[in-house]
Structure 1
Amino acid sequence: MDRIDIMRAFVTVVAEGSFTQAADRLALSPQLVSKYVARLEQRLGTRLLNRTTRKVHATEEGVRYAERARLLLHDIDELELGLGDAHRQAQGRLRVSAPVSFATRHLALLLCDFQQAHGHVSVDLQLNDRKVDIVEEGFDVALRIGHLKSSSLIARRIAPIRLVICAAPEYLERHGTPGRPEELKQHRCLHYSYMEHDVGLPGDGALSCNNGDVLVEAAIRGAGIVIQPTFIAGPAIADGRLRVILPEHAPAPMALYAVYAHRTLLPGKIRSFVDFMDGYFGDPPGWDDFAQH
């Protein structure tokens, strides 16, 4: 028997002064209510009710127990109601993991707009380019860029991510512009540590880094050829500091995904955030306006 059900049955009997009326109020049989109370008295080792043919009265111990039990049941009802509201409404603290370069360039405005629409949600944003374990590390949502592999997590595609091969005009003037992917072997290449793609840059590279902004800045300064997404390289391409090369051999487009742990009983703060992001950046996204098409 559930202890809360037993407690609720006893409190109702005391309030109604009758097993029959308590049973009607709880939609239970009088026999089951009587069994609940007998089990409670047996567990506590004390008589809680004095029974007569017409009425039941709480003993001194029964009165004390009923008063405390009534408060506990009220707290339990409030707790469950609050949790239910939290799942339906967007409220509480939302922990988000996101890639460093994407977040610093494109998430601040989104988060401000989101919180204007959902003022009861506070956001804890953690930037990290590694693949976090959202369950073990306590994140509600992780934003990930790439080709997602099959997993038990739920993922929603938020925006396309286009990759370009590019280098500074000065570098290409000094070392020549590759006309075929095989010719990249003759060039200094700048590698992004976490990138996975089918067509990449050969060799270990002149520079390897786990941050795209560093690699783009190095490429602008003539350090070599880099593959980076347009949301990082786009402004430098637009103003001529970088030039796209081998456009027909660019790696296949990737996507930005919102990843979370469960589809059912999703808290309102997570559901609202993922829904808000869907379509926010556009398709094609605004950052592709910087790049050469």
Structure 2
Amino acid sequence: MDRFQEMRMFLAVAEEGGFAAAARRLNTSPPSVTRAIATLEQRIGTRLLSRTTRSVHLTEAGHRYLEDCRRILCDVDEAEEAAAGSYRVPCGHLSVTASVLFGEQFIAPLLAEYVDAFASVHLKALLVDRVVNMAEEGIDVAIRIGHLHENNQHAIKVGEVRQVICGTPDYFARYGRPQHPADLSRANIVMSSASHLLSDWQFAHADGPLSFRFEPRLVVTANQAAINIASSGWGITRVLSYQIARQVAAGELELVLQAFEPPALPVQVVYLKHPRVPAKVRTFVDFLSERLQQNAALKAVNRVHG
């Protein structure tokens, strides 16, 4: 077995978190993967993976080797793609990441449409509520909500969303509509900790930013759970406007404190800067950008702060 194949097996084990899962991804047998890793560790002369009966973890040396493997295999793939003409014709494996709700609502339907149009491209979507390091995790395209801080990325703005406070009409009928952020101290608040955009409740006003510390009665780790609890009439939550566009349009949820909303957040399609961008990335970015720019849920209107 050549070294590149050993690297690909090691990469699969590290990313999938186990030998069996890596074997399924590579369409081979678990013993073959186990032998390849053992041979690799023996040749290198150090342990790369720490194994238990239930899990596999990278050692310190394994973490360093994983980064090198990704870089080397990426260079090899790019060389092969260039030789095969994939910088002109979309083909190969393409990875995209987005937050869970955004990915489920907007990205998933578009993935099927894209692969139908480009039969030689195989797509994998990583939907997680965290900021993924694109270079380290081998991601080609990301959809980011918020301002970027990395300088090694290209970004195309496709829309913007607001941070909104919402509850049901029934809840507001029983407890009253808050007129100022300070009124939230007396409200039933359910907070999502899935994103710092939602767990840090900042407000704005004509006189400048407003900051209030609330003690939520409920904290959940998923945005949809917070939305479900608020939709039941129990209390108030803060979400991104696209996440409840349907419920607001149907009158199931109402927005409050709109005059105190912070500025809208940009929604951007992001890809890494590179001298030669493969056709699969160019076409997917163009496709995604065009579709998302047409989505009414991503056309936020900034409120006038009074």
TM-score if structure 1 supplies the norm length? 0.65
8 Å Cα contact 2:159-2:266 kept in structure 1: yes
The equivalent residue for 2:145 is 145
How far off its partner does 1:163 sit? 2.9
8 Å Cα contact 1:154/1:263 also seen in 2: no
1:229 to 237, 240, 247: 240
- Is 1:265 the counterpart of 2:276? The answer is yes
Partner of 1:217: 228
Cα distance between partner residues in 2 of 1:188 and 1:83: 61
Q: Match for residue 293 of structure 2?
A: 282
Q: Hey, what's the Cα distance between the residues in 2 that align with 1:111 and 1:124?
A: 9
Q: Alignment partner of 2:268: what SS?
A: strand
Distance 1:150 1:90, change over 3 A: same
> Secondary structure of 1:130's match?
coil
* Kept in 2: contact 1:134–1:140 (CA 8 A): yes
2-structure distance, mates of 1:288, 1:150: 23
Shift of 1:124: 0.6
Correspondence 1:58-207 to 2 at 5 A: 82-83=82-83, 85-193=85-193, 194-196=195-197, 198-199=202-203, 202-207=213-218
Structure 1 Cα separation of the partners of residues 116 and 147 of structure 2: 32
Helix, strand or coil for the counterpart of 2:251?
Answer: coil
- On the 8 A contact 1:178/1:246 being kept in 2, the answer is yes
Amino acid at match of 2:288: M
Query: How many Å apart are 1:111 and its aligned residue?
Result: 1.4
Q: Distance in 1 between matches of 2:81 and 2:287?
A: 26
User: Structure 2 length as normaliser, TM-score?
Assistant: 0.63
Cα 1:138–1:183 change in 2 (3 A) is: same
Q: How many Å separate the matches in 1 of 2:261 and 2:267?
A: 18
CA distance in 2, matches of 1:243, 1:201: 22
Distance 1:221 1:202, change over 3 A: farther
Q: Distance in 1 between matches of 2:236 and 2:109?
A: 31
Instruction: Report how many aligned residue pairs link the two structures.
Output: 214
Q: State the AA in 1 paired with 2:125.
A: L
SS of corresponding position for 1:131: coil
Structure 1 residue 220, shift from structure 2 partner: 0.6
1:251 corresponds to 2:252 = no
Q: Which moved more, 1:174-183 or 1:79-88?
A: 79-88
Which residue identity lines up with residue 120 of structure 1 in the other structure? S
Following superposition, the deviation at residue 90 of structure 1 comes to 1.1
Q: 8 Å contact 1:234–1:288 — kept in the other structure?
A: no
Task: Look up the equivalent residue of 1:286 and give its one-letter code.
Answer: A
Aligned-partner residue type, residue 195 of structure 1: H
SS of 1:177 mapped into structure 2: coil
User: Alignment RMSD, CA only?
Assistant: 2.7
Deviation at 1:94, TM superposition (A): 0.4
Aligned to 2:56: none
Identity among equivalent pairs (%): 28
Change (3 A) 1:179 1:150: same
Compared with structure 1, are the counterparts of its residues 173 and 80 closer, same or farther at alpha carbon in structure 2 (3 Å cutoff)? closer
1:237–1:290 Cα contact (<8 Å) kept: no
Distance 1:121 1:231, change over 3 A: same
Change (3 A) 1:157 1:289: closer
Whether the 8 Å contact between 1:97 and 1:126 is mirrored in structure 2 is yes
- The question of whether the paired residues in 2 share the 8 Å contact of 1:159 and 1:279 is answered with no
The amino acid of 2:234's aligned partner reads A
Unaligned runs of 5+ in 2: 1-78, 204-210
Counterpart Cα distance in 1 of 2:249 and 2:90: 39
Q: In 1, distance between residues paired with 2:87 and 2:212?
A: 46
Q: Measure, in 2, the Cα distance between the counterparts of 1:154 and 1:106.
A: 21
The one-letter amino acid of 1:274's match is V
Counterpart CA distance in 1 for 2:300 and 2:152 is 36
Cα distance, 1:82 vs. partner? 4.9
Cα displacement string for residues 190-223 of structure 1 (whole angstroms, at most 9, x for unaligned residues): 2232133642774242222342211111101123
